Amino acid sequence: MTKHYRTRLEFTWDDSQYQDGDFTPQKLEPVVTEWLAQHGFDPNTTHDFDATVDEPFSYGFTGMTSEQLIALLVHIASAFPDVHFYARGAGESFGDMWLREFHKGKTIFSAGPYQTGNQEIEKKRGWFDRLFR
């Protein structure tokens, strides 16, 4: 199921092996802007990364699916292979949660997004429900 709404993102990094000293959010801007333009997204989405660094898990990335946001993070990681990145995302849907870890420009850990789609999930009856059968 494709998600087209806002996503909360926590995005951090370890720059201890970064050749150019401290890695700052400003270094993300040209890489993010280029990717957004190539994929037809609103260029103002770049500001969502600023908000994510200042206020982790704030909502942003409106109009992007989880998969598209993850693809953007893969692009960022490949642009800065000396930086170790960690990302945790959660969409508005209960199961739309995911984790990614990038090292040397590659995904080294991946979990989710977990999505139940439109399928009905049978609710298990608890002890209280059984009293009234």
- Which residues neighbour 123 within 8 Å (Cβ) at sequence distance 6 or greater? none
* Residue/partner pairs of 45-49 with CB below 8 Å, 24 or more apart: 48/9, 49/11, 49/25
Chain segment 8-38, per-residue pLDDT in tens: 999 999 999 998 889 998 999 999 999 999 9
Instruction: Please give the Cα distance from 120 to 94 (Å, whole number).
Output: 14
Q: Whose CA is closest to 2, among 92, 127, 120?
A: 92
On whether the pTM is more than 0.85, the answer is no
**Local mean pLDDT, 10-residue blocks, the chain (133 residues):** 73 93 91 96 89 84 91 97 96 90 97 71 58 62
Q: Where are the beta strands (DSSP E) in 19-96?
A: 59-64, 84-91
The predicted pLDDT at position 93 comes to 83
